[in-house]
Amino acid sequence: MCKKLVVLIPALFSCLFTGCAVNPITGEEELMLISEDQDIAIGRQYAPEIEKQMGGKIADPVIQNYVNSVGQSIARISHRPNFEYSFVALNHKSINALALPGGYVYITKGMLEKLDNEAQLAAILAHEITHIVARDVANAMSKQIGMGLLLSTVTSEKTPQSVLTIADLTQQIVGLRFSRKDEMEADLGGLEYMARAGYNPYGMVETMQMLQNLNETRPIEFLSSHPSPENRIQYLTAAIQTKYFNLAGSKIAKEDYYKSVRSRLGN
């Protein structure tokens, strides 16, 4: 008991003088220096610049509506359904997906071209939703950029200097790196979300296999900012066989994906 108290006391004092929140993915109490309202404000501030720097939205409402509908079906059953989620397909050749605090999720044309069905799309979006729910994005921003600097740009009046700062900071946001622990939690949390939303959980395994195979021939942007934990395929497969073994016949929707996305990308 004494040893446990020695470990807990510093954490308790830290939370007392700063702030703590429970990570709904792990159930653990973690240090959190900003509020959910600030999460939303940061996401809203930087979302337009993300779109601008990454080629803008794909100019096809069918693709956009399809990606958004899949994302919303997962966000509704997440631990933070109160965020105003937005799922946008970007006209960028990189094989990537990323998220901003507060519910903003982006997936690139390059990634959409590599996916084969709706379950795989759901896997990517669920992974990013989990990063938002666990507030990994806000934590990574705070550690790698500085939350004070990010919040300083959240103003109603934009000067030329602040616009330049937003553009510069957005480049850093795109390059944020998550820890391997965060990635494993996002994999398993995303697996839970997509399964609860009715998708075949093997879509997550297939997607990670595809990304790792591509990464062997050239670096993949998604795996650069989302470093692959050891044995990713193994622990995902083990989780499915243990917890989701009765969902193998769930939604895959290959034809829907080709009709609504792949056939419309112009390749």
Q: Please report, in tens digits, the pLDDT of each residue of the chain (267 residues total).
A: 443 333 333 444 444 444 566 666 665 665 555 677 877 888 888 899 899 999 999 999 999 999 999 999 999 999 999 889 999 999 999 999 999 888 999 999 999 999 999 999 999 999 999 999 988 777 777 676 665 665 566 554 555 555 557 777 777 777 778 888 889 999 999 999 999 999 999 999 999 999 999 998 888 989 888 878 778 999 999 999 999 988 766 899 999 999 999 999 975
What tens digit of pLDDT does each residue of 217-230 get? Answer: 888 989 888 878 77
Instruction: Give the SS3 label for residue 99.
Output: strand
C-alpha span between 103 and 117 (Å, rounded): 23
Q: What is the pTM of this model?
A: 0.83
Helix H or strand E segment including 97: strand 97-100
User: What is the C-alpha to C-alpha distance for residues 235 and 237, in angstroms, rounded to an integer?
Assistant: 5
pLDDT (tens digit per residue) in 44-55 = 888 998 999 999
Please, are residues 43 and 103 in contact by the beta-carbon 8 Å criterion?
yes
What's residue 6's pLDDT? 37
Shortest CA distance to 258 belongs to which of 16, 107, 5, 63? 63
Is-contact 46 162, C-beta < 8 A?
A: no
Provide the 10 A C-beta neighbour count for residue 12: 12
Look up residue 4 and give its two tokens.
């446990």
Which residues, other chains included, contact 160 with Cβ-Cβ below 8 Å and sequence gap of 6+?
none
Centroid of chain to Cα 228: 14
- Pair of tokens at residue 122: 């759901």
**Structure confidence at residue 160 (pLDDT):** 55
Domains of the chain: which residue ranges?
Answer: 21-264
Distance CA 203, CA 169 (A): 33
pLDDT recorded at residue 60: 97
Instruction: Say which residue the tokens 């937003």 belong to.
Output: 166
Q: What is the pLDDT of residue 127?
A: 96
CA pair distance 47, 38, nearest whole angstrom: 14
pLDDT at 136: 76
Closest CA to 226 of 128, 94, 151, 117: 128
E strands along 122-203, which residues?
none
